[in-house]
Structure 1
Amino acid sequence: MTETRTRFRRWSLIALSVAAGLAVAAAGAGVWAVQRAFPDTGGEITLPALEGEASVYRDARGIPQIYADTAADLFRAQGFVHAQDRFWQMHFNRLTTAGRLAEVFGEEQAETDVYLRTMGWRRVAEREYELLRPDTRAYLDSYAEGVNAYLDRRDGGERGLEFTVLAALAPDHEVEPWTAVDSLAWLKAMAWDLRGNMQHETERAALLASGIGRERIEELYPAYPERDHRPIVDGGSVADGRFRADAGEGGASAAAAGGEGGEGGEGGDATLPPQEAAGVLAGVGAGLDAIPPMLGPESAGLGSNSWVVSGEHTASGLPLLANDPHLGAQLPSVWHQTGLHCTDVTDQCPFDVTGFSFAGLPGIVIGHNADIAWGFTNLGPDVADLYLERIDDGAAMVDGEPEPMDTREETVKVAGGDDLVFTVRSTRHGPLLSDAEAALDLREIGAGPPVDADGEPADRAAEPTGGGYGVSLSWTALEPGTTADSIFGMNAADDFASFRDAARSFEVPAQNLVYADTEGDIGYQAPGTVPVRGTGDGRWPAPGWDSDYDWHGFVDFDALPVVRNPDRGYIVTANQAAVGSDYEHMLTGDWAYGYRSQRIETLLAGAVGDGDLTAADMADIQLDDENSGARAVVPHLLRADAEGTAAQAQELLADWDFQQGADSAAAAFYNATWSHLLDLTFDELGPDHSPDAGSRSWLVVDRLLDDPGSPWWDGDAADGRDAVLSAAMNRAADELGRRLGEDPAEWRWGELHTFTATHPSLGESGIGPVEWLFNGPTVETSGGDSTVNATGWEHTEGYAVTTVPSMRMTIDMADLDAARWIDLTGASGHAFHPDNGNQTPLWARGETLPMPFTRAAVEEHAEDVLTLRPE
């Protein structure tokens, strides 16, 4: 890998020059250039695609609620509205999922395109369409008709300011009609960002190659703390398709929760990658890191919270449901708040649902209808394995015998350059990602089509260079599935049985689903395609030459974790271990470590006894800022030596309540100390492999603090546990003194921990006018990594927020019109539109908006009404 191949945010000078010129022209004629893309939200529009009339009500924040007489017209209208608000987001996403960024943005994006073409996201989506139910295909096609009705009405910059940039950057690029496959390909992007522990696989292999011993690497990835942090279905099990609702006190098993052992093979050594394969593994890992995350900037803070509380504990007597998925921070948000309402709910038009959708995909992903509500968090099972392959004379060796590989040719068009033609080869496990790396390395030898040093074409030169090794990918999302069926099924479900039936089709990404209904039931279901492995547990790249490590089918849906109406009266999911000690299948060894879930458990357990919980109480829990990991560290910091400003700052910790409000001086000092503590403790890992600031590091450091003789405390800058703690405080005090002033009492966490909603394609250009044009305002935030209010940050890059509660929703099943919601940004994706970023200040303050559901409530909140009529 060379510095010429970089992450997506590093744009060509041409693109920046064009965008900068637009920014300067934002006055005068620039106002027209911006506003001509704004959507029509009132009056009447004729759409030839419609069969009957549809109405779009928008409230004061521009949130649409759509009504139509037929399901086809309902989704046509949703496609039109999504395109009105977010077509650049939709188009950029489909370019990415199809591996077509370089044809617009040039050579810098060839790496992303080659890897995505190698995996074949769009090819899988094309096959997926044929597997779906006829009604699902009809809904997807109707949605595409609505998007295309919008495209027929507008051209170029009328679709968004970004398209004005696009016209100058790639004048020959044509915006093609939307198709159902464009929508399905987005599901692959969602699955990619939530794929589980593949990053840990490559990280562990890279650390081993760097000379860090296996035992020390395992210390960095400890087993889930099953005794301290309760799993989701605590004591629940599944047998023969029947669920048990017991909620005992047992913890997650070693097999289910990543316990000791289970490394695969005799003694476990077979799973260790050979030293000569280190280079090819490192190259693939770096290449995968270059793929732009689709759900916003990626970090270890990705996760979510959701929980349900039964009516026995609530003031209304019916269940409460809360959900706040944690995703990357971007503008516009990944979500689009929408209501979809059949004028009369019938078998032919069964939808009356409000919630959060994805621009580019019909239906509601998270929300409620008249009978049920549901929320999502990432289950996080290990559904992607890297296989080291032994390649000999164009064949993959398996059990000592050569096995032919499947091949196909791909062409990446490159704006301003030659096409990149390369061959994708696939073993029994999946596509060879190392071929992507080889094709890119060959291209760097010189201009023109990819050739090797002898002038041989790339398709004859793409042999892996890692000592005869290649790296292939087995990933559940690379097989076509039926997740789209599930979305529409959940939208129309009316009880737990029909909801579970819809969840059977939700294959990737595997999720935790929480459920509540108006009959008083609460429940939990974990759907998804989860592999059953032979030898090995997926924690290290597996030897592809040994068929014992192949997958042997998938966990049956009726064997996945589920619970209904547990005795304790509530269910909490926050990416912790999913199952109790009697669960038979290995899901993953890399859960989130349960600090968020246990904090929610603690807050609920202290409140349910009164029996008067409200949706407002659920919202308060969503905003809890406690840094639970600091409880193990602060006592040691208070005993460590500190001088000068550090000693003054140390006193802030003596009576700190561990809450990380934006105004907290103690939180500012602690988090700065924590960041320096990680650097000093794990200095031998280097910045590329430094552990994250969240729950995994909380647990690792907690254990190291009780082991002052650990070699992790040895370092050049500070040697020994107490010296490291003192040095971390001194460095933190020096840093904050420079940044926030000399008086520790005046330090504020919010001044460090700021959030800027960033445009995913132009927002990190490094050019001030461009970023001003497309990014949202910078706001101070509370919370932190692995807190319930999960505003995550990357300690190697500063304290700025990278992952966020991308939305918040609270629902009381007794009064659906009283539900509350907030989006990270707002309905619009158009620069300078009043609804672009208009929810961010409210979000930062922890406020929410009304989430009307019934037509009377929708009409009461409506500020604009747009009537869509057939031709």
Structure 2
Amino acid sequence: MALLLRWLVRLVSVAVALTVAVVLAAWWIGSRSIPDYDAEWTVPGLAAPVEIVRNTAAVPHIFGQTDADVFYGLGVAHAQDRLWQMLMMRRTAQGQLSELFGEPTLQIDDLIRRLDVYQLATDSVAVLEPETLAALEAYAAGVNAWLRLVGEEALGRGAPELFLFEPDIAPWRPADSVAVTFMMALQVAFHHEDEVLRARLSLALDDPDRLRDLMPDAPGAGVAEIAGLTDYRGLFDSALPRFAETGTAPRHPLHPNVLGRTGAGASNVFAATPARAAASGALLANDPHLGLTAPSIWYLARLELETGGVIGATIPGMPVILAGRSERLAWGITSAYLDDIDLYVEELNPDDVTQYRTPDGWAEFRTDRRVIEVAGAEPVTITRRWTENGPVIPGSHYGFGTVTPPGHVMAMAWTALTDENTSIQTGLRLMRAGTIEEALEAGEDFVAPAQNLMLASADGRIAMQVIGHMPWRMTAHQTQARMPSPGWIDTNRWQGVTQYFANPTFLDPESGILGNTNNKTVDRDFPLHVSFAWGDTQRITRLTRLMEARDVHTRDSFIEAQLDTVSAAARNILPLVARDLWFTGETAAAGTPERRRQRALALLAEWNGEMNEHLPEPLIYAAWMRELQQRLIRDEIGPLADEFQSVEPIFLERVFRDIGGASAWCDVAPSTAEETCTDIARLALDDALQALEERYGSDLESWRWGAAHEARHDHPVLGQTRLFSWLVNIRQPTSGGDFTLNRGATPGTMPDPFLNIHAAGYRGVYDFADPDSSVFVIATGQSGNPLSRHYDDLGELWRRGDYIPMSLDPELARAGNIGVTVLTPQE
């Protein structure tokens, strides 16, 4: 027995030792991909030496004698820190994900190939200005220089993920950078999904007023300076699919975060003139919001160009400071929500399905075939078709099949689908601009996705300009571009795009402050109409209040506004919903649902609407409103209610104020009794409290919003695997919510409806009174390597609302550097 025990001990010891050895070996091999920031490399293609000085946060400050050499250095820095991210972005744009990941990504590849994204990017290179092309070529040369060094110096394949997936890595090309702009446009595009949802809802509801309740237009004439619908059934002769028969259309894989109608993109930007600034220098704050990932989509960098230094946020793959400042100018962006997509129902010729109907009769589809390679499966061949309106997209994408009549197909017109996409040119011109006028002129090159470009200059001027192509639609458009329309009706078709001067512009306001939270900015008729659907109706009211609360602002007051977690929606809706429940009835017995409800209402009665991670009230409120909306709509629209998981504040306000008879939603359709809004509110609160108690225990006061509202930064590939998720995913309890300036949007779907999955991955505040006191931060870290200490080192700062300095002083960067990479020209 003793002998057996000794052998068991030995075997276990050997197994443990082998496991430890394997782990250490894997760690050592993987860590080879962590770049040495304090190294010197000899590389081809440079005119003179380049220095990449990384400060304590690993932000590269890049110095060279020419702009081309500086862009070369940025290419090296991006590839050093974010190679895997860049390769995946390019592979997505090429429609080649399935070559690595198999069938799970086949739907993405199918869509991208049908949109022909990479070919359009390749063709667009030919129309770029020589100066832009030179920048892209220099950047690509820098990326390729690092790829060569990885191979020649055995630098861990450049990223640890490349030990698990071994694709052949093609050289980076200028077209790859242009393709990244297409992919960013696709991430925030949403109007096509909105059209489908509105059409499906119109099929489910008999009363058009109820459609206006659930998908309301943003009220008012629009804010920038701070101080009857068509029946969808009637458009087609053939029968339409019923929403109940097709069920709920799944969110497309390119939109993994189900955020309802406000999930396409959300951001804040605001600026003040010196007259409204305490230190007499212009101010600008910007925090663009996208889906959270690990690493963040954003990467901080400083470039010393021949026109001066620029610093701010880049996206790896593009040599552009998308949001930041130079010595003379600061700029920020928000999604403009301009309606730049239309869906067209195209009728097939019943005698020849290779033809479709046009205003001039039947026409042949333009067609070709493409093969998609699929790992572990047979290749898939797709037939692509185009109409005069745009590419044909199968019904399996975005739920198009739910509103496409038999004998028809759906085509998509989108301003981004052009072989003359010069959007990247705007960013390069902005970095060299010295005046507001030069910056506004640079915006003319921008195509998609439409953005609000906010500007502030060192001479004290501010401006906001909508940049991006705006479709020219006819007044007689049958659906006003709010639902798919017959593609053969001439008045439904685009008449090209409007000229740049027609885009909304706001320049040097009398109030001294401009701001945007994706809110409605203008209300214009066709053909200059901008949009019916906007990304915010709530945050703008809070921003307006904070901006008007002070005669003058400082950098710190702008930071305070950027980090504000008070929900204007909660302050507005809660008194309406709870007005007949608060302070009513006798005290219920302990342990009963009535007593639990009274305790919850007592907490909410004292709450100021702050979505603070340490409080229980935000969790009770969010759960209540979610259950309330579902109770109001599910009996009317059935499974289509799954498409409305995110709370719509205007809908709830319309119901509880009975605007246009909207209180009709409160009566449960199948029941014989007539339920009131108070009845439904009480039942919804009991539902919410029961669900919360089952998850967080019976002590309401111990519940915490942060426990449910964790920021979820997931690695797009390894984050879904049990083996690596603990290493690559980042979780943080956070404040904020769907309708706070410090926004943390929630999915609304079970099992974790209140996760923070869409937030400000970058924050920057720029002060021209003291430019070196400007600050910025990103949500994770500079490195995309999970083994690097810079993978998540900025994440805690971001969570707490802290920043790092944004200085263009080269001596400050050198004084605290963690390494200087020197690139020497190859002779």
**TM-score when scaled to structure 2?**
0.89
In structure 2, the partner of 1:290 is 252
In structure 1, the partner of 2:595 is 644
Q: Check whether the contact 1:233–1:579 (CA below 8 A) recurs between aligned residues.
A: no
In structure 1, the partner of 2:171 is 177
1:855-866 equivalences in 2 (<5 Å): 855-866=810-821
Q: Check whether the contact 2:248–2:643 (CA below 8 A) recurs between aligned residues.
A: no
Please point out which of 221, 233, 244 is paired with 2:215: 221
Q: Check whether the contact 1:638–1:650 (CA below 8 A) recurs between aligned residues.
A: no
Q: 1:699-733 CA distances to partner (integer Å, 9 max, x unpaired)? A: 01101012287332233799431121111111222
In structure 1, the partner of 2:359 is 399
- 3-state SS, counterpart of residue 109 of structure 2: helix
In structure 2, the partner of 1:162 is 161
1:88 is the counterpart of 2:84: yes
Q: 1:138-174 CA distances to partner (integer Å, 9 max, x unpaired)? A: 111111111111111114942111111103xxxxx31
Q: Check whether the contact 1:807–1:824 (CA below 8 A) recurs between aligned residues.
A: yes
CA distance in 2, matches of 1:774, 1:827: 14
1:711 is the counterpart of 2:664: yes
Distance 1:421 1:583, change over 3 A: closer
1:59 is the counterpart of 2:58: no
Distance 1:618 1:205, change over 3 A: same
CA distance in 2, matches of 1:23, 1:808: 42
Distance 1:212 1:97, change over 3 A: farther
1:654 is the counterpart of 2:611: no
1:173-252 equivalences in 2 (<5 Å): 173-210=167-204, 214-226=208-220, 230-232=222-224
1:749 is the counterpart of 2:701: no
1:775 is the counterpart of 2:729: yes
CA shift at 1:434, angstroms?
2.1
CA distance in 2, matches of 1:786, 1:834: 33
Q: Check whether the contact 2:473–2:527 (CA below 8 A) recurs between aligned residues.
A: no
- 3-state SS, counterpart of residue 630 of structure 2: helix
Please point out which of 564, 574, 586 is paired with 1:634: 574
Q: 1:1-32 CA distances to partner (integer Å, 9 max, x unpaired)? A: xxxxxxxxxxxxxxxxxxxxx99988311211
Q: 1:794-831 CA distances to partner (integer Å, 9 max, x unpaired)? A: 22231111111111110101222111001011100001
CA shift at 1:858, angstroms?
2.1
Please point out which of 112, 117, 124 is paired with 1:121: 117
Q: Check whether the contact 1:646–1:733 (CA below 8 A) recurs between aligned residues.
A: yes
Please point out which of 125, 138, 143 is paired with 1:142: 138
- 3-state SS, counterpart of residue 184 of structure 1: helix
Identity of aligned residues (%): 28
In structure 2, the partner of 1:485 is 425
Q: Check whether the contact 1:627–1:659 (CA below 8 A) recurs between aligned residues.
A: yes
Please point out which of 692, 714, 730 is paired with 2:686: 730
1:376-775 equivalences in 2 (<5 Å): 376-392=333-349, 393=352, 394-399=354-359, 401-434=361-394, 466-480=405-419, 481-534=421-474, 535=477, 536-579=479-522, 585-607=528-550, 609=551, 611=552, 613-635=553-575, 636-640=577-581, 643-684=594-635, 685-686=637-638, 689-690=641-642, 692=644, 697-707=648-658, 710-715=663-668, 719-765=675-721, 767=722, 769-775=723-729
In structure 1, the partner of 2:742 is 789
Please point out which of 271, 276, 285 is paired with 1:313: 276
CA shift at 1:382, angstroms?
0.8
CA shift at 1:693, angstroms?
6.0
CA distance in 2, matches of 1:65, 1:667: 41
Higher mean alpha-carbon deviation, 834-843 vs 212-221, is at: 212-221
Distance 1:166 1:395, change over 3 A: same
Distance 1:354 1:363, change over 3 A: same
Q: Check whether the contact 1:323–1:375 (CA below 8 A) recurs between aligned residues.
A: yes
Q: Check whether the contact 2:472–2:527 (CA below 8 A) recurs between aligned residues.
A: no
1:30-69 equivalences in 2 (<5 Å): 30-69=26-65
Opposite residue 185 of structure 1, the aligned amino acid is A
CA distance in 2, matches of 1:398, 1:656: 59
In structure 1, the partner of 2:590 is none
In structure 2, the partner of 1:852 is 807
CA distance in 1, matches of 2:565, 2:463: 27
Q: 1:168-218 CA distances to partner (integer Å, 9 max, x unpaired)? A: xxxxx3111111111111111111122242211111223334566544223
CA distance in 2, matches of 1:826, 1:272: 51
Distance 1:273 1:721, change over 3 A: farther
CA distance in 2, matches of 1:51, 1:308: 39
CA distance in 2, matches of 1:147, 1:161: 17
CA distance in 1, matches of 2:213, 2:259: 24
Q: Check whether the contact 1:432–1:471 (CA below 8 A) recurs between aligned residues.
A: yes
Distance 1:356 1:465, change over 3 A: closer
In structure 1, the partner of 2:332 is 375
Distance 1:33 1:687, change over 3 A: farther
CA distance in 1, matches of 2:534, 2:292: 22
RMSD (Å), alpha carbons: 2.8
CA distance in 2, matches of 1:497, 1:109: 44
CA distance in 2, matches of 1:54, 1:831: 27
State the number of aligned residues.
776
CA distance in 2, matches of 1:311, 1:175: 50
Q: Check whether the contact 1:678–1:691 (CA below 8 A) recurs between aligned residues.
A: no
Q: Check whether the contact 1:817–1:857 (CA below 8 A) recurs between aligned residues.
A: no
Opposite residue 592 of structure 1, the aligned amino acid is G
- 3-state SS, counterpart of residue 578 of structure 1: coil
Q: Check whether the contact 1:424–1:435 (CA below 8 A) recurs between aligned residues.
A: no
Higher mean alpha-carbon deviation, 307-316 vs 632-641, is at: 632-641
CA distance in 1, matches of 2:430, 2:206: 47
In structure 2, the partner of 1:17 is none
Q: 1:580-606 CA distances to partner (integer Å, 9 max, x unpaired)? A: 579971111001242111211110001
Distance 1:548 1:852, change over 3 A: same
- 3-state SS, counterpart of residue 790 of structure 2: coil
Higher mean alpha-carbon deviation, 810-819 vs 205-214, is at: 205-214
Distance 1:281 1:760, change over 3 A: farther
Q: Check whether the contact 2:292–2:758 (CA below 8 A) recurs between aligned residues.
A: yes
Please point out which of 765, 770, 773 is paired with 1:815: 770
Q: Which runs of 4+ in 1 moved over 6 A?
A: 22-26, 279-285, 435-438, 581-584
Q: Check whether the contact 2:571–2:608 (CA below 8 A) recurs between aligned residues.
A: no
Higher mean alpha-carbon deviation, 580-589 vs 330-339, is at: 580-589
1:837 is the counterpart of 2:792: yes
Q: Check whether the contact 1:34–1:831 (CA below 8 A) recurs between aligned residues.
A: no
Gap regions ≥5 residues in structure 2: 1-17, 585-592
Opposite residue 792 of structure 1, the aligned amino acid is A
- 3-state SS, counterpart of residue 694 of structure 2: helix
- 3-state SS, counterpart of residue 138 of structure 2: helix
In structure 2, the partner of 1:353 is 310
Distance 1:528 1:284, change over 3 A: farther
CA distance in 1, matches of 2:184, 2:133: 20
Q: Check whether the contact 2:523–2:530 (CA below 8 A) recurs between aligned residues.
A: no
Distance 1:505 1:103, change over 3 A: same
Opposite residue 580 of structure 2, the aligned amino acid is R
Please point out which of 264, 282, 287 is paired with 1:324: 287
Distance 1:271 1:473, change over 3 A: farther
Q: Check whether the contact 1:284–1:433 (CA below 8 A) recurs between aligned residues.
A: no
Q: Check whether the contact 1:132–1:484 (CA below 8 A) recurs between aligned residues.
A: no
